[in-house]
Structure 1
Amino acid sequence: MEPLTEAQIRASFVNTSKREMNQASLPDLDELTWDRLDVLGWQDDKRPQLAYVVVPTDDGPVGIMVRTSPPSKLRRRMLCSWCQDTVTPDDAMLYVARRAGAAGRKGNTLGTSICAGFSCSANVRRAPTASEVGSDDPSDRAAWTARRIEVLRERSRHFAQEVLTDPS
């Protein structure tokens, strides 16, 4: 992912009001390892049920505000729909995004499960197990990792495109 400035991130939001965009807390951009990120995601420091993702697309970054429910005492395991990592102990959570434009203003939303800590980029880069790859060959492992990175990018871009699409 190409490094982004605060202004670029705020300008990328497609499903927020100007007030929501300006109130969004941002991560420390200087602390990010941009070349190891495929999607930028973070929780809002002030409002824990709000989070944000920025997805690189061919048309530029697409920023999306998502909401989640408060943590429940009942714990359910869920698979992240973006990285689909079955080894990591991170929980996935249901995040719901208001659609962009008129559809979103009418209350139309779209949901997906994403790693609670937005660790998808790290998850797809972890060393695969031999049983996942079916081989101990380093080139097979590298190809497996490269494919997982591409699939994460495809799935996150698809979600961003769906948020931008008016379903009517």
Structure 2
Amino acid sequence: MHALTEKQVRRSLVNCSRSEAESMTLPRTFAETPWEELVVLGWRDPRAPLRGYLVVEREGRPVGVAVRAADTRMSSGTPAMCLLCQTAQAGSDVSLFTARRAGEAGRNGNTVGTYVCADLACAVRARVEIPPWLRERDPEEVAAERTAELEQRVHGFLDAVLR
């Protein structure tokens, strides 16, 4: 992913108003973001804990979506899987996120949702949390495959928001 400015991130959001994008709080570590290691930038809004954001590059430009976490969580004793990075975790570390659809559909209240890592750090997990059944393979190759698959699934979620 190419380095983005705060302005580019705010303008990338396709499913919220300009005022909502302006009120968004960027991650505290935004200035130190390791852009070259990411295929998706994801974070929870520190001032609004149920809000989060996902930004990807699409056709050479950033495209972002605002998401909202469910206000309840699964039990930590319940196993769950993020449907973006496909990392198995405790249920308390995965949350249902919904995104208002873009355009008129979103204005009419239509949403799409999926289960995602509660901290939206899927890009990091895809690279470093290698499932046991893949550990015999070359770690760099596995990380590259998982990252590419994550990017495809995020684009699929984005397609659903844009429909």
TM bucket, shorter chain: 0.7 to 0.9
Q: Match of 1:144, SS?
A: helix
Q: Counterpart of 1:107 in structure 2: which amino acid? A: G
Length, aligned pairs only: 161
Q: Decide which of 96, 99, 107 is 1:97's aligned counterpart.
A: 99
Which residue in the other structure is 1:43 paired with?
44
Quote the sequence identity (%): 37
Which residue in the other structure is 2:158 paired with?
160
Aligned-pair Cα RMSD in Å:
2.2
Give per-residue Cα distances to partners, 1:29-72, cap 9 Å, x unaligned. Answer: 21211111111111112111111111221252111111112244
Alpha-carbon distance, 1:4 to partner = 0.4
TM-score, normalisation: structure 2: 0.88
Task: Please list every run of 5 or more consecutive structure 1 residues that lacks an aligned counterpart in the other structure.
Answer: none
In terms of Rg, which structure is larger?
1
Which residue in the other structure is 1:106 paired with?
108
1:18 aligns with 2:9: no
Q: Counterpart of 1:84 in structure 2: which amino acid? A: Q
Greater alpha carbon shift after TM alignment, 26-35 vs 66-75: 66-75
Take 2:111 and 2:129, find their aligned partners in 1: how far apart are those partners? Answer: 35
Do the aligned partners of 2:79 and 2:89 also contact (CA within 8 Å) in 1?
Answer: no
Superposed, 1:6-155 pairs within 5 Å as 6-27=6-27, 28-58=29-59, 60-72=61-73, 74-75=75-76, 76-86=78-88, 91-126=93-128, 128=130, 131-133=132-134, 135=136, 140-155=138-153
TM-score, normalisation: structure 1: 0.85
Take 1:86 and 1:44, find their aligned partners in 2: how far apart are those partners? Answer: 24
Take 2:36 and 2:92, find their aligned partners in 1: how far apart are those partners? Answer: 22
Alpha-carbon distance, 1:142 to partner = 2.8
Take 2:120 and 2:129, find their aligned partners in 1: how far apart are those partners? Answer: 18
Q: Counterpart of 2:99 in structure 1: which amino acid? A: A
Do the aligned partners of 1:90 and 1:117 also contact (CA within 8 Å) in 2?
Answer: no
Q: Match of 1:97, SS?
A: strand
Do the aligned partners of 1:56 and 1:157 also contact (CA within 8 Å) in 2?
Answer: no
Take 1:87 and 1:51, find their aligned partners in 2: how far apart are those partners? Answer: 19
Inter-CA distance 108–83: structure 2 relative to 1 (3 Å threshold): same
Greater alpha carbon shift after TM alignment, 71-80 vs 52-61: 71-80
Higher strand share: 2
Alpha-carbon distance, 1:125 to partner = 1.1
